[in-house]
DNA sequence: AAAGCGCGAACGAACGTTCGCTCTTGACTC
DNA sequence: GAGTCAAGAGCGAACGTTCGTTCGCGCTTT
């Protein structure tokens, strides 16, 4: 029985001990397959190997499960920002973040559910605070890194930081969206070249003095 | 009475004559508000000022309405590509396309429903052919324009066209997604600067000074 | 013996869709 | 022009199904 990690998660395996986790994982798989509103609780129960009665001991409603999943997605994505502080350059950080995002197997929930979550957050006010809290934090972290990169000369100081941030955020979201539409894209491999393109966009216009961004 | 275009579309008005149009417009408004699967047919009927019996004369099912809306969204987006042929530069074309996308009032369906449609297409095989047909056509048109821009020297001929296309496509989708999350963003005004950033990314490296691109 | 996890049948509500009816329309007869 | 009538647009109650959720009861564990 080698297929234990991505198995349908019946009542066997190490997750026997954490029913909440089991429900969340099962729900994520179902939601990826069918979306939030086209997935029934019975499906989630079946995927989790659990009866409705048992499941409702751990979550008061379907919406609570959705909120918990969005919460986890957000913090997973937020964790990627650690690369911003541990990398020498912004471009290197973006490369690492992208590779981490797209090389994970099974694919990360935030990659698979990105568009679904965006659509849901934009219309369900109960999800807004959950989403925004992390969003603001991420924006702040990125803004700091961007400012540092400008001070360092890696990024053109003349650039409007809000515009740059919108571009990078949009690119990230957009790539996840396109991955849903074309799962065969070898995104992890493409990250270095994509990050290089971003680097060209942000770099100061050809300086007469080549005091470069190199070490 | 200036509010005739975005009215709830009761049985009055000039659209009295085209019930199919009335249903599609009403459904689009409902789907933007609540998403495809969280919107009931009764809601659509109410919005269209029509009974279920009447509505089902024009569409055999809810899915047929969704398919028709996706079809329209695609062709509306595809129409934007005309700017590619009528503009002198790629950057100018992208600016015009972005401004057309985001300055329309009421906002275009493809802006409001973009993420929802992506999520739905990625999981409903019946939407795939509708989506892909236009997608392929758009990709081909953009590839042609990109090739021309490279020949012209506006875009670095050394760049991999597939990578560039992924970036531009992702950026477009990503900006629409972020607009859903932050509707207050003045996107139409930001387009020239965004397009300029894209231009910097694509431009050939400065001829006089060779800045060492690491890697 | 007590406690509580887990079960699955069952609930009321709401879903997408249908059906038999009324009302409107416009061409045809006289 | 008045009267007739077939055709179909539109209606809305009602259909069978499925939804999210509940509840009372066995079963396990201590």
For B161-170, the pLDDT digits (tens) are 999 999 999 9
For residues A84 and A55, membership in a common domain is answered with no
pLDDT band at B210 (very low <50, low <70, confident <90, very high): very low
A176 located within any domain: yes
Contact of B208 with chain A, judged by CB distance below 8 Å, is answered with: yes
**pLDDT score of A1 more than 70:** no
A210 located within any domain: no
For residues A36 and A100, membership in a common domain is answered with no
With contacts defined as CB-CB under 8 Å, which chain A residues touch B131? 181
For residues B84 and B186, membership in a common domain is answered with yes
**pLDDT score of A206 more than 90:** no
A4-49 pLDDT, tens digit per residue, is 333 333 333 444 578 899 999 999 999 999 999 999 999 999 999 9
Q: What is the domain count for chain B?
A: 2
For residues B98 and B188, membership in a common domain is answered with yes
DSSP one-letter code for A14: G
For residues B51 and B82, membership in a common domain is answered with no
A214 located within any domain: no
Mean pLDDT, to the nearest integer, of A80-108? 95
> Quick one: pLDDT at residue B174?
98
Q: Which of B40, B59, B78 is the last residue of a domain?
A: B59
Burial class (CB in 10 A: 0-12, 13-18, 19+), B12: exposed
> Quick one: pLDDT at residue B14?
38
**pLDDT score of A116 more than 50:** yes
Closest residue by Cα to the C1' atom of nucleotide C4?
Answer: A57
Tokens linked to B49:
């000022």
Question: Contact A164/B190, CB-based, under 8 Å?
Answer: no
> Quick one: pLDDT at residue A10?
38
Q: What is the DSSP string of A141-205?
A: HHHHHHHHHHHHTSS-TTS-HHHHHHHHHHHHHHHHHHHHH-TT--HHHHHHHHHHHHHHHHSPS
Least confident span in A124-133, B24-33, B205-214: B205-214
Burial B95-114, CB ≥16 within 10 A → b, else e: bbbbbbbbeeeebbbbbbbb
**pLDDT score of B1 more than 50:** no
For residues B53 and B137, membership in a common domain is answered with no
With contacts defined as CB-CB under 8 Å, which chain B residues touch A182? none
B213 located within any domain: no
Mean pLDDT, to the nearest integer, of B135-156? 96
B97 located within any domain: yes
Nucleotides of C under 7 A from a protein CB: 5-10, 14-20
> Quick one: pLDDT at residue A214?
45
Tokens linked to B141:
């048109």
Q: Can you give the distance from the CA of residue B130 to the C1' of nucleotide D9 in angstroms? A: 30
pLDDT band at B18 (very low <50, low <70, confident <90, very high): confident
User: A195 to chain B, minimum CA–CA distance in Å?
Assistant: 10
For residues B37 and B108, membership in a common domain is answered with no
**What percent of chain B is modeled with pLDDT above 90?**
85
Closest nucleotide relative to residue A51's CA, C1' based: C7
Question: Contact A194/B163, CB-based, under 8 Å?
Answer: yes
Q: What is the DSSP string of B8-67?
A: ---S-SGGGG-HHHHHHHHHHHHHHHH-STTS-HHHHHHHHT--HHHHHHH-SSHHHHHH
A139-181 pLDDT, tens digit per residue, is 999 999 999 999 999 999 999 999 999 999 999 999 999 999 9
For residues A74 and A155, membership in a common domain is answered with yes
Nearest CA to A179 among A167, A194, A200, A158?
Answer: A194
**What percent of chain A is modeled with pLDDT above 70?**
88
A213 located within any domain: no
Nearest CA to B168 among B97, B118, B115, B120?
Answer: B97
Q: CATH number of the domain that B133 lies in?
A: 1.10.357
Provide the domain limits for residue A7. 1-59
**pLDDT score of B215 more than 50:** no
Burial class (CB in 10 A: 0-12, 13-18, 19+), A118: buried
CA angle B32, A24, A135 (to 5 degrees): 55
Q: CATH number of the domain that B15 lies in?
A: 1.10.10.60
B103 located within any domain: yes
Q: Which of A36, A59, A82 is the last residue of a domain?
A: A59
Distance CA A68, CA A24 (A): 8
For residues A88 and A114, membership in a common domain is answered with yes
The structure tokens 């065969």 sit at A184
Contact of A173 with chain B, judged by CB distance below 8 Å, is answered with: yes
Mean pLDDT, to the nearest integer, of A119-135? 96
Question: Contact A163/B214, CB-based, under 8 Å?
Answer: no
A49 touches strand C (CB under 7 A): yes
Q: Which of residues 101-160 of A touch B (CB under 8 A)?
A: 115-116, 118-123, 131, 135, 159-160
**pLDDT score of A210 more than 90:** no
For residues A88 and A7, membership in a common domain is answered with no
**pLDDT score of B117 more than 80:** yes
pLDDT band at A212 (very low <50, low <70, confident <90, very high): very low
- Could you give the 3-state DSSP secondary structure of residue A7? coil
Mean pLDDT, to the nearest integer, of A76-101? 95
Closest nucleotide relative to residue B62's CA, C1' based: C16
Q: Which of B59, B84, B101 is the last residue of a domain?
A: B59
Closest CB from A121, A169, A214 relative to B214: A214
A25 located within any domain: yes
Nearest CA to A167 among B98, B18, B133?
Answer: B98
Tokens linked to B168:
């531009």
Nearest CA to B98 among B165, B32, B154, B173?
Answer: B173
Distance CA A73, CA A79 (A): 10
For residues A73 and A146, membership in a common domain is answered with yes
Helices B62-79 and B114-121: angle between axes, nearest 10 degrees: 120
pLDDT band at A207 (very low <50, low <70, confident <90, very high): low
For residues B102 and B194, membership in a common domain is answered with yes
With contacts defined as CB-CB under 8 Å, which chain B residues touch A185? 166
Distance CA B202, CA B205 (A): 9
């Amino acid at each position: 029985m080698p297929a234990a990690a991505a198995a349908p998660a019946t009542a066997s395996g190490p997750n026997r001990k954490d029913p909440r986790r089991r429900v969340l994982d099962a729900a994520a798989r179902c939601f990826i397959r069918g979306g939030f509103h086209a997935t029934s609780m019975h499906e989630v129960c079946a995927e989790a190997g659990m009866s409705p009665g048992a499941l409702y001991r751990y979550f008061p409603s379907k919406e609570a499960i959705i909120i918990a999943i969005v919460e986890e997605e957000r913090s997973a994505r937020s964790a990627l920002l650690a690369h911003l502080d541990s990398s020498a350059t912004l471009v290197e950080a973006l490369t690492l973040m992208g590779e981490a995002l797209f090389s994970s197997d099974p694919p990360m929930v935030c990659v698979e559910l990105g568009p679904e979550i965006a659509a849901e957050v934009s219309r369900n006010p109960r999800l807004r605070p959950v989403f925004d809290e992390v969003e603001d934090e991420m924006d702040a972290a990125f803004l700091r890194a961007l400012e540092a990169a400008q001070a360092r000369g890696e990024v053109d100081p003349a650039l409007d930081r809000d515009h740059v941030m919108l571009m990078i955020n949009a690119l990230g979201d957009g790539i996840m969206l396109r991955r849903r539409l074309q799962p065969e894209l070898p995104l992890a491999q493409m990250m270095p070249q994509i990050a290089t393109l971003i680097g060209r966009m942000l770099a100061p216009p050809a300086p007469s003095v080549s005091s470069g961004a190199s070490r």
